[in-house]
Amino acid sequence: MSPTTTSDIQSEELLPEILVLCTSSTAPGHVLPLTAIARHLTSRGFSVTFVGAPHHADLISSSGASFFPVHESLTIEKGQYRQWGAARAAFPEGMARMAQDFKTFFIGQIPGQVESTRAGLKHVLKKVKAEGLGRKIVIINETMWFGFLPWKWGAELPSLDHSDNGEESPLLTPPSLGINVTPLMLDADHLPPFPTCLLPSSDDNHSARKRDRVLKDWLYRFVVREAYDGFRDLIRAAGGLNVPDEWMINLSVTAHNTTLQLCHPALEYPRPDLPPHVKFAGCVPPSGAVPKGFVFPLWWQADVVENVEKRRIVVVSQGTLARDYSMLLAPTAKALAGREDVLLIALLGKGGLEVPPGILPASEEQGDVGNVRVVDFIPYDAVLKYADVMVFNAGYGGFVHCVVNGVPVIAAGLTEDKCEVSARVEWTGVGINLRTGRPSAEAVASAVDEILTNPKYRARARELATEVSKENALEVVEKEVCVLAGLC
């Protein structure tokens, strides 16, 4: 189903009459796309309240949104993230660790997410009542935040008014717009289940279809059964008594009035079976902006912008959360250090981080003396503008950033949704799937050489960049908000 068009919006003068409550998982890769949406909406006149973690307060506030803190159980200081992270290390990468994550990082956050959402809703409702302007409320809900779902299945809103007999006056649940910033994990009869990381089979491959059905039955009956039941129990406990008997990942996509997949259809497997209210929004376009106060490293202008030596620029990133640099940064540095034709830029993922001893080859540990440049943080779009290839841990945000910038990729990831992203890298033809989260230096070197010498990867990346540039996800989100508010 096609998103709403610009002509459907009645008048920009109506936009400030919508109040938007943004909810998002506290993981950086989920928060960043939502702050881009918040920045766009506030620039268009919307009032946006963003429920987020304290360590993202500055990021959220810089988008123009009003920051509203999550419940303390979702903070790094008082939450269980450290315990969960330590416990997951005992499970091997792959399905076993994913099953553990479903029981902890997914459903373990639901009570705190519900309390955060309840407080945020009450805050917004009070604001609407105080202003007396008849504002409409639309919820923008990142799909991995389950805290609003009880209200989709029967939970009552926090009430502010009282009738003459002293009883609370019922309120209607605001419409919600789901935003999916991961691979589309909604089940389909013609696709292997998430997260088996298998590529789709052809329509006439009956044995593969039978395999997929068996895998789905095995997954739900055994691997994620505890999380399957735990999700529904927690949603019911929060008042969502009408929660359907279905897998939580499916429900997180289908529960909303409209859900937008934040990518172009070309980046996903064919989905002719999508419900009509689940739509592709396109990609967030690349941004030339850098954070306020950001300063590029001293070598940036000469080595990257001017690049007088005409070296091929390779970027490697371990991502924002996985900081075991032995997994990907170390083998990539070992593979490319000393090459005169390549400049390697290693991104550590967050400002203030440093690479520990033993990760870089000895010849590179003294600083920017060879062909390896290590930097704590540079915005993806700023560095990808000059990149010839990116080696990354298969985060979905990194994948989309590379596509919109026309940069081929080498994917090395198995945890969370990363093996599914790696599979899509392979399926789209935009890069190489190393099928591991811990590649050897030889595997990285071979993949880099293949991409730098075979023009098909760059051609495909540029083809996709041209295709996805035809739509602007931020504008699509804005239009869908207006539709849900009844203004177009």
Q: Nearest-CA neighbor of 238 among 357, 118, 412?
A: 118
pLDDT tens figures, 279-311: 999 999 988 778 888 899 999 999 999 999 999
Structure tokens at 435: 């099928």
Q: Is the per-residue pLDDT at 378 higher than 70?
A: yes
319, 324, 330, 333 alpha-carbon torsion, rounded to 10°? 30
Terminal Cα-to-Cα distance of the chain (whole angstroms)? 17
- The owner of tokens 């912008």 is 305
The pLDDT value recorded for residue 5 is 44
Instruction: Spell out the residues 6+ positions from residue 121 whose beta carbon is closer than 8 angstroms to its own.
Output: 21, 151, 157, 158
| Cβ contact 401:286 at 8 Å | yes
Give the C-alpha separation, 205 to 285, whole Å: 37
Domains 6-285+471-484 and 300-468 alike in fold: yes
The pLDDT value recorded for residue 161 is 55
**CATH architecture entry for 6-285+471-484:** 3-Layer(aba) Sandwich (3.40)
Q: Is the per-residue pLDDT at 16 higher than 80?
A: no
Q: Can you give the C-alpha Rg of the chain in angstroms?
A: 23
| Cβ contact 387:286 at 8 Å | no
Domain ranges of the chain: 6-285+471-484, 300-468
Residue with the bigger pLDDT between 5 and 356: it is 356
| Cβ contact 228:220 at 8 Å | yes
Give the C-alpha separation, 114 to 96, whole Å: 27
The pLDDT value recorded for residue 393 is 93
- Of 17-26, 124-133, 225-234, the range with the lowest mean pLDDT is 17-26
Q: Give the angle 50-56-57 at the CA atoms, nearest 5°.
A: 65
Instruction: Report CA 299 to chain centroid distance, whole Å.
Output: 31
**Residue 195, preceding bond cis, omega within 30 degrees?**
yes
Residue with the bigger pLDDT between 449 and 133: it is 449
Instruction: Spell out the residues 6+ positions from residue 119 whose beta carbon is closer than 8 angstroms to its own.
Output: 68, 71
Q: Nearest-CA neighbor of 380 among 368, 392, 364?
A: 392
pLDDT tens figures, 316-361: 998 776 678 999 999 999 999 999 999 999 999 877 778 888 788 8
**CATH architecture entry for 300-468:** 3-Layer(aba) Sandwich (3.40)
